[in-house]
Structure 1
Amino acid sequence: MNVKKKRDFKYIIIIGVLAATGWFLFQQKPDVRSTTVTHTDGEYRLWVEVNANRWTIENREQFAEKLLKMVDENTFQKVHFSEDLEEPHCIIFRVYLMPYHSNWAFEVYCRKQKKDTHHWEIRVRENHL
C-alpha cells in the first residue's frame, strides 16, 4: 500500500513538471536569441536565431514580415549593418521552439537593384529537422 502511494506521487510530480513545461513553452513570446554573420565568396549572410512557439504564431508570413521590418529598421541589438554588413545578400531567420531544434526557416533575400535601391524577397517554409 505504501509503495503504491509513492509510485502515484511520483507520477503526479512527473505530470506536474510536464504540464508546467508545456505551459511555459505555450506562453513563450518570440524573442531574438542571437545573431551571427558569415562571409563566403563575397556573400554576406546573417543568421538570426529566434525563440518562438509555433502554436502561438498564427500567421508565419506576418511573423516573417515583422522580422524583416526589424532588419530594415536595424532594431536587432547585436547587429549593425553599417559595420558588420556592407551589402547583405541573404538573411536567414531560424525559428526555434527549443534550443537547437529548428521548426521554421525564414529566408529573406536582399538584392541590390540600382545604386541605392534594394529588392526584398521573403520565403517562409517549414523546416522538418
Structure 2
Amino acid sequence: MIRKRTVIIAITILLLLAGSLSYLQWGRQMDVSSSSGSGSDNHYELRVSVILNTLVVTDQQKCAEQIFEKCRDNSFHSVRFSYDIQIPHALSVTVYKKQKDAESGNSAFRFSYQQENQIDGSYNIVDNPEKFTLEME
C-alpha cells in the first residue's frame, strides 16, 4: 500500500517536471526586446535583439531563418517595424535564450542578412529575400 502510494507520487512529480520543462522549451514565443535602425539615403540597416524564451537552441541556422521570416512578415508579438517609412536593406540580429541573458549581455548567437553589395540599397528584405545571404557570427 505504501509502495503503491510512493510510486503514484513519484510518477505525478515526474509528469509535473516534464510538463514544466516542455513549457519552458516550447511553450513560449520568441519576441523582440529592442530594435534600432540606421542608414543613409540608399541604405538602411535594422538591428534587432530577440529573446527566444527557450532553454536550449538546437539549430542556430534554422532559428535565424525563422527570425528572418518574422522580421520580413513583421509578425513579432510586441513590436511592429515601420516598413512604411523604409524597408531594411540589411538585418543584424543578436539572439538571447531568455530575458535574463539579455539583461546581462550573454547572447546565444548573432547573425546578419546582407546583400553582396552592402553599400548599394538595391534590394530590401521584404521584396527581395533571395538576394540576401545569412552570415552567422
**Range class of TM-score, shorter chain:** 0.5 to 0.7
Q: Does 1:101 align with 2:111?
A: no
Q: Whose relative contact order is higher, 1 or 2, with alpha carbons under 8 Å and at least 6 apart?
A: 2
**Is the 1:47–1:93 contact (alpha carbons within 8 Å) kept by the matching residues of 2?**
yes
State the match for 1:79 in structure 2. Answer: 81
Please tell me whether the aligned partners of residues 74 and 80 of structure 2 are also in contact (alpha carbons under 8 angstroms): no
Provide the TM-score with structure 1 as the length reference.
0.59
CA distance, structure 2, for counterparts of residue 101 and residue 73 of structure 1: 27
Q: Which amino acid aligns with 2:92?
A: I
Aligned residue in 2 for 1:124: 136
Query: TM-score when scaled to structure 2?
Result: 0.56
CA RMSD, 1 decimal: 3.0
- Where does the alignment leave 5 or more consecutive residues of structure 2 unmatched? 1-19, 116-120
Q: Tell me, which stretches of 5 or more residues in structure 1 are unaligned?
A: 1-22
Matched length:
97
Offset at 1:46?
0.6
> 1:93 is matched by which residue type in structure 2?
V
The one-letter code matched in structure 2 to 1:52 is L
Secondary structure at the aligned position of 2:56 is classed as: coil
Q: What one-letter code is carried by the residue in structure 1 that aligns with 2:67?
A: L
Q: Are the counterparts in 2 of residues 37 and 47 from structure 1 also a CA contact under 8 Å?
A: yes
How many angstroms does 1:53 deviate by?
6.2
**Are the structure 2 counterparts of residues 80 and 61 from structure 1 closer, same or farther at C-alpha, using a change threshold of 3 Å?**
same
Q: CA deviation at 1:93?
A: 0.6
Aligned equivalents of 1:53 and 1:78: distance in 2? 19
Could you tell me which residue of structure 2 aligns to residue 63 of structure 1?
63
Q: Distance in 1 between matches of 2:96 and 2:40?
A: 25
Contact 1:35 1:78 (8 Å CA) reproduced: no
* Bigger fraction of residues in strand: 1
- The answer for the alignment partner of 2:37 in structure 1 is 37
Q: Please report how far the alpha carbon of residue 112 of structure 1 lies from its aligned counterpart in structure 2 after TM superposition.
A: 3.4
